[in-house]
Structures are given as C-alpha cells and as structure tokens.
Amino acid sequence: MIAQISHTSNTNGIVTYHTKKIEEGVAEIISERYVNTSTKSNITASINSYNVFSKTERPTVHISINFPVGDRGVLSQEMYVEIGERYLKELGYGEQPYVMVKHMDQAHPHIHIVTTKVTDNGKTIATWGERYRSQNISRKIELDYNLTQVSSIKNSPAQRQEVYEQKDYKNLLRNSVKEALSLRPKRYEDLELLLRERYGIAIYRTKQNGIGFAALGNEHERYINGFGTKGVAGSNLDKAYSGKAIRDTLSKNFKEAPKRYRNLKATEDILVEKLAYFDSISSLDFKHIFEPLGKELQGEEKFIVVDTKGKNVFSERDLKQVDFKKIQRTTQLKHPVESGLFKVIADETFRVYKSSTSRALKTSKFISEIATKEGLLKHLQESSTLKIFEPLLSESQLKGLRSFVEEYLGVLKSELPDIISKEDFYQNKEVALLHDFAKSNGLNPQDLLSLFRLNTFHKQYVHTKAEQSVLSLIERTLNHISGEDNPKKNDRVGATTLFDVQRFISLSNLVPEQREYMEKELVGKYLSRVSNELKREVIDPKSLVAAYNKKGFMLSLETSGNKNIIKARMMDMGSEHVVKGLGSFLDKQHLKQQQLPERMDDIRFNHAMDTGSYGWAYSMIRDNMVSPGILSEFKGHKAFEPFKQEEANKELIGKLLYEYKLEGGYRYTSDLKEYLIGDKEDFKAYLKEKEQVLPEAFVDDFLKGYTSQESLNESIRSERERFANTLKLAEGFANPNMAALLGIRFDLSGRAMDLHGKYTADTTLTGRQQVLLVNLQKQLYFEYYSNSFQQVTHSLYGDKRELMDIGYDKLMAFELFKDHIPEKHRERYQVSFERPYIEHFVEKLATLPGNPLQKIDYLNSKGIRAVDTKEGVQFKLGGTDKLYLLSSNHGIDNPSLGSQVLTMREHGFTQQGSARSEQYRFVIAMEKGNYNEAAWLLLTNKAKASVSELEPMANKKLQEELSKLSDKGFKMDDVFQSTARLLKDDIGGDGHYSGKKSKGKRKGPKHGPRIG
C-alpha cells in the first residue's frame, strides 16, 4: 500500500477530475463525511466552506491510496472504506470532511480521498513529518489487513510501463520528470541526457520557449511498437514542469551546487581511486564496480554519473579529475601490484583482521606481538574491494594476491618505526590538546590525561569510540574559541557524544563560553537524530510530546507574528533549540503535561532501546544504572534474553575453565592456552565429567577463539604488560617491600620477576625484601589478595582512573598487608578497602526485615559500628578510628554507643593483629556462602561465630557445615579447595596468575596436581 499526498488550492479541478471518471463509469463514490455529493459544485462547495476560514495557500488535500494488483482479491468495498477512514484518522484528518472515490481504471486497485487541512474552527492541521507518518501508517495497515508489504522508498528509476491510454502515458512522463529533477541537475544538457539514458524520455524545446516531453523506444527514437509517441507540454503534466519552471529549477540547482561540493568531491574521489586500477573499462563492468558504491553511469559518448545515495547527478564538466576516456568497449586491468590494487586489498584485510581480533590495541603492538600470516589470510575474503574486483581477476592474479597478503605482514613489521612514530605524533598532539583544554578551564591536566588513558600505563592501547568522540568535541570547541570553526574530516562528534562526554567532563566546571558551545553542539546533534527518528514513528501530537520528553527534551511554545515556534531544552542543560516544522503541529494544550525521566542514564537507556542497541541497554539494567521504575519495567524484557544467556554461558565456562586450570596446576593463562591448542578435547571431556550443560556450538566457538594463536599471543602480551606496569608502580615507591606486596620478587642477580618467575626485567629498585614478606608471597591466599592490592594501587598511583568496584570481600588484602604499607600511604589504602566493605553491608539494611536496633546489631555482627556525629550517622570498623559518611538511606538514627562496643568486643572485632583479621575473614566467608571455610575458622578457634538474628538461613547452613566437618574430622585439603574456589573470580583471567604450571602435561581432568 502506497499513499501519495498532494496539497492544492484548485479544489474544483480535483473534483472535476473525479466526477469525470464517475461519468465515464470507471469510478464511484464509496464514502463521505460532511460533504454533499449530489453534484460536482456541491462537493466543491462543501470542501471550500472550510477552506475560506484559513489563509493557507493550498488548503485542499488530495490523497491516493494504491494497492498491489495481488491485493485485489482480498479487498472488499467495506475494507476500502475502513482502510481509508483509518488512514485519515491516524494522519490527523479523522474529524475532517471528505469524499472517498474508488477508481477502476488501472490494473492495480486504488482509492482517492479529497479532504481539507482546515478545521471547523479555522485552524490548520500540521503536515510536519507527513510523508514519514504516512509510511508508518501504511505499514501498520498492511500488517493488520494481511496486505502485501510494500517498500516506501524508491531505489531505482521509474519503471517503464506499457502505455495503453493517455493517462498512463502522462503518468509515465510525469513520474520520470519528477524523479529526474529530484537528482538536482544543474544544466539543460544534463537533464536531457539523464532523462534520455535513465528514463527513456526525450525533452525538447517548443516554439514559445516552452518545454515538452515524449517517451523513447529502445533505439532512443520517438516511436514504440512502430508508432510515434506524442509529445506532451511540460505545463500539461504539472505547472512545475513548464519551460520557465524547469529553467528556474536548473538555475537554482546551479546556484546551490557549492552546498553539495562534499558530495561532488566524494563521488570524484571514488571514481578516480577505482579507475586508477584500469587501462580501460566497459560500461557493464563500470556498473558492476560502482553501483554497489552508489554511483551509476549514464551515456555513451557523453557521460553523467548519478550519485544514488546523495541524490545528485554530475556531468563530465563537474567531475574534472575523472578520466572518462577509460570507458570503452572492453575492460583491461592494470598490473594489480603496480596500480596499488593488491595493497588496497591487503590494507582492508589487515584492518578487518585487527578489528575482529584486537580492536583495543595500537596497530604497532598488534603487528609486533599478535598478528600471524595465517590469521591475516583467513580474513582475505572480507575485503570489500576484493569482493568487487574478484570477478575481474584471473586465477594466476588471485594466487599472486594470496602471496602478496602473505608477505604483507613482513612489510608492516619493516615499517614499524614509522608506524610507532605516527602513533606517538598523534598521541603527543592529544596530550597537548588536553593540556590546552585543561589550562583554559582551570582543570588538572593530569586528571584529564588519566581519564583518556594518555599515560604510560595504557600506552599500548587506542582510544575507545567514546574517548574519540569526546576528544573531537574538545578539539572542535578549542577551534571555535580560536576562530577556526570548521569540523575536521575525521571529526567524530555524533548524537551519542552527549552521553559519552559525561564520563570524562563535568560541563558545569567549564568556562561559560566553552560550556555553552559544547551544549549547543551536543544537544543539536542529539536533537537532530531524535527528530528524524520521531518523524518516522510518531503519529499524533500527544505521543510526539511524550516521545520528546522520554528522550530528555522539555518542549515550549513561543509566538512570533502569526507563527508558533517550538523550542526544545535538554534536561540539565541551558541551551534551547528550535524544532522545525512543529509549530503548526503542536499547541499550548499539548505541552501542558510534560514529564522528563528521573536521570540522564534513563534517557541514555531510552535512546539505546529506541535505536535497537539492546546489548547497551541490557548492560545498564544489569548494572542498576537506571531508575527503579525503568528497572522494574524492563528487567525481564525479552530483547535482553540473548545477552543474558550469552553472559551466563560465558560466566559458567569461565568458572569451569578456572577449575580445570587449577586442577592442571597452570600458573599462567598463556600456559593453559598453549596446552589446549594441542588438546581441546580434554577440556570438552572435563565439561562432560562435570555434567555441565552448555550449547555445543557455544563451546566450539569459544574454544576456537580461546585457543587461536592470536589469543595465545594476546595472553603473553597482557601478562608481560601487567608485570611491566606493576614493576613501574613498585619503582615509583622506591620501596622493595611495597614491591613484594605487589607480587614482585628478585632473583639472585637483582633482576625483578613476577610472582612465579616467568617474566623478568631490570629494575631501579634496590635493597632486600623482608623475609616475612618473602614467606608471605608463598602462601596460597597471597596471589588473590595481591591482585586486589595491585588494582587499588593502580587506581591510586598509576592510571588514577575511577576506582573499579573493588568488592567488600577484598578487605582482607588491607588487613593482611597494612602493617607493611609505608605510613604515608596507609590511609589512602585504608579508605579504598574499608569503604566498599562498609557500604556493602549498610546498603543491605534496606532489604532486611527488623527494627533499627536489630539492624544495628546486624552491622555489629559484621564488625561495623554506627556513630552519631554532627554531620549525621557515620560508620567505622572495629579497632579503627576512621569514620565514613555514606549517602545511602540506611534508616539508622541516634545509635547508642555502649551496647555496640560490648557486642563488637564480644565478637572479637576490637582486637588487634591476626585475631581481628580472622574475624573479618569469617564474616566475608559467610557473606560469600563459603560455609565450609567459616566452619573451619570456628573449629580451629581462629574466629568466633558472628551471625545476626536477621540471618537465620545463613546460620542454619553454618551449623550444617559444622556438623559435616566434625563428623569426618575435617580435612585441611577440603578447606583449601573450598578457599581456592572462593578466590576464582580474581585469579582466572588473562594476566592473572593462578599457580605454577606442572612439569608434566595434564592427562585428563582427574590427573592434575592438587593444591594444598
């Protein structure tokens, strides 16, 4: 179903057209509202009785609704009326007078509707987004009535049709001329060539300076099937196609051509680039090469190029750099190596290879440490240029291409110094940019450099898309301030930069001029995207206002003369933007009740859902980034199921892989991968033994990637990088004991090495490590807590990015290491480890039953005391003086002191040394559900039972575990295994070390050395 809408002032002409059809017996009136259909003049008068109340130039609306031929048997008279009335209602004409006429004069069924956009109170119905709303309505009607689904967009020239009657002939000419003019030709000869070659239409001049059109046959002559074709004056087709109107249109297109220079240059660049590979090219091969790129050639001796994507037509006079002499009868490729064709294919192949393998790494690192010849060749068929040129290449040339690509990685390695130099140049440029930006806004440049990962700890990585877009915004802003306001070619500011920028910059901290410019650019880009989307989706004013609100915009109405102007203001931002076309669609009544989302993340979530970015939306739901209302509405949304399932599969296989790695005694992920490359089936057998059900295709796909050479290379690279960065941190402290806590050891020659000795390096560190710390490094739990200590150290003293969720359970790292941390650094570590622990249990209060006294007792059982201060209720751990003021709604008021001190003392939280640490270890084991370890701590008198009455289930499980261990005379090995599994989340990924590799190869899931 395709609906065509036109607006006119000639009501009588439209009515006359339909009454004549009725008189000829090929049309009938099938429905009307508020229209007297007794005579032609009465129909005209009924419509015009509304039109007189408005000054709009073209008040009468003429709609034709066309159905495919195949739908004729489906449509009944009642369905025509029902569909027509529904279409009018949803387009906004539901209360308007109309007359509906069914025509039977063409092969396809169709109806016409004549109505008016002037309402009975003199207001005008808005036509904003009418075309897109009409398409949207049509698609819904097709689905609801089981009609043929029709595309609403023309991608090809008007199809030639058999000409049986005058009306068909005029429709053919009219549609062809309309479509040709939509390509914006600038000269008469361009229009002439375009119409002749693309549409088979002749254009000619008449005696009185007019223009006429006629159809052409296969030989470009004015005869079809032996009969000459009649010329029709342009003015008889439409007044827009008269001689004067056509000349005015061409003149206007010529004057506005500079605005489309970018389209011209892009078309020219594509043609020049691809034609450089040819000595000659036939028209047929030209079509094969360029039509997928949106470029269409027309002509034989003279040529024009139609840019079908940009909707432009360019002649040889426009495309001066293009060698059109190469277009001949036959095609002859130049030597593909000498012309650069093979290099272009190899470049594309490499880009695809890197993007799919190591998108985050710098090119130099990928070339030197990850890429393989075999991996590069696997991606050869993904080159878009090869897909186009492959039919033109001979077998020997294709073999030569494979050889060229095989050697290409070696060429890239020889160019590494230049590649590194280029990377350093751009990075130094970005560093300078951020220094200038920080200076102009009074910000700390080092903080900005860390946020954008422009420091030595991330020198191996490229920017994320979010970082790139915000850096482009900063560059554009500084250029604007300095007077250079032209976006660069590689400018990456887009609609979603509005959300990205908040991760890096607080706009409120910027100087007014820069803040205002950024807001204007960000909101303008986002608003443009939103408006284009809503044009295609929203039908009625109420829904439109709600949709804008959902996207974060508050709408307001201003009056200028006789016109209404709608402005949009983004939530939390100051700048207002005019929304074109909405002034006639919305009024003050529509804008009375507006409601914005609760927070910016809600807007971001709504945008993700509306644009089909369900993975992005799911991650926001999973991480509780949205407001409670959205969380409850979307938590179980069916669009999230694939992502949820994939995440569950990855989590399960990661857990099983860790346990497999633990049993095999592998200290490094790279060692495990090296083994699995030779024996994937062993791990599959292990999965079956564990009776874990994972989709076979998922397991195969996972192992294919996990055991690739590139994956092994990446593990080795990341392990080296982690060791190098950790050593760099340790050298910053100039303290060998801090190095020990970070997992650094020294060999006899004084070289530094990682915890298990695989990676070594020279170091500036001097002095010996305490024997106590050397022994501590040998303990089972050391690596687990050292990993947490490294993470916090990186955040505090390394890249200084926002501290990732360190987790309440990592408190033990500080408890075990605190006496070895230099005093001047100790408090920073204390806060980093203690606050997450306290926050975890205080936030749980909201989910627990019980009165305030019971909740205080619950906190005391976790070693946390509530303290009443001038600032409000704060919290501290037993045996410390550091207070923490939390923002969570804990519901505790005026806590008493005495009973808390007594409870804390009874549970052992006020002791010093290992006894206090073991008590916190007991709490953490209980909270993680590791009742085996908690019971062992009680049975060995290392801790006291500290379980709140609000946790009856946990207490029950603890008692059960105590009984089990007592009955079998608990084995230390069982506890060690339980503890090792407790640590699995932090000793499993790339670069995390999990035990020394056994000397012999693992021969099955049961034969690896055990830990303990």
Specify the amino acid at residue 376.
Answer: L
Which token pair is 788? 């947490």
Q: What is the pLDDT of residue 156?
A: 47
Bridge partners for 205 per DSSP: 211
What is the block-wise mean pLDDT of the chain (1012 residues), using blocks of 10 residues?
A: 87 89 90 90 91 84 88 88 92 91 85 92 80 85 86 46 55 86 92 90 86 76 55 87 92 90 91 93 90 88 89 92 92 94 96 94 96 95 92 93 95 96 94 94 88 83 91 93 71 88 90 94 92 78 90 92 88 88 83 91 92 92 90 91 94 91 90 94 91 89 95 95 93 93 92 94 90 88 89 83 72 91 94 94 87 88 90 90 84 75 82 84 92 91 89 92 76 48 42 35 36 26
- State residue 478's pLDDT score: 94
* DSSP code, position 501: G
Q: Quick check: 887 and 880 in contact, CB under 8 A? A: no
CB hemisphere CA count around 336 (13 angstroms)? 23
CA distance 610 to 608: 6
* CA 676 to mean position of chain CA atoms: 34
Beta strands in 41-180 (DSSP E): 60-66, 98-103, 110-116
| Residue in the block written with tokens 């099955």 | 1004
SS3 312: strand
Distance CA 144, CA 544 (A): 23
In DSSP terms, 233 is beta-bridged to: 212
- Cβ-in-10-Å burial (0-12, 13-18, 19+) of 321 comes to exposed
Among 650, 642, 649, 686, smallest CA distance to 1004 is for 686
Judged by DSSP in three states, 503 sits in helix
Q: Which residues make beta-bridge pairs with 99?
A: 32, 114
Pairwise CA distance, residues 500 & 523, whole Å: 13
Which helix (DSSP H) or strand (DSSP E) does residue 28 occupy? strand 27-33
The token duo for 812 is 């033990």
What is the C-alpha separation between 936 and 869, in angstroms, rounded? 39
Name 512's Cβ contacts closer than 8 Å, sequence gap at least 6: none
Task: Kindly report the pTM of this predicted structure.
Answer: 0.79
Return the pLDDT at 1007: 33
Distances in whole angstroms, Cα of residue 836 to Cα of each of 198, 831, 843: 70, 8, 10
Res 643: pLDDT: 94
> In a 3-state reduction of DSSP, which class is residue 314?
strand
Q: Is 868 helix (H, G, I), strand (E, B) or coil?
A: strand
Alpha-carbon distance values, 761 to 192, 747, 754, 987, 993 (Å) = 75, 10, 9, 23, 18
Residue type, 345: I
Are the CB atoms for 920 and 913 separated by under 8 Å? Answer: no
Kindly state the tokens that stand for 397.
Answer: 């040339």
| Strand-strand pairing, 27-33 and 278-280 | unpaired
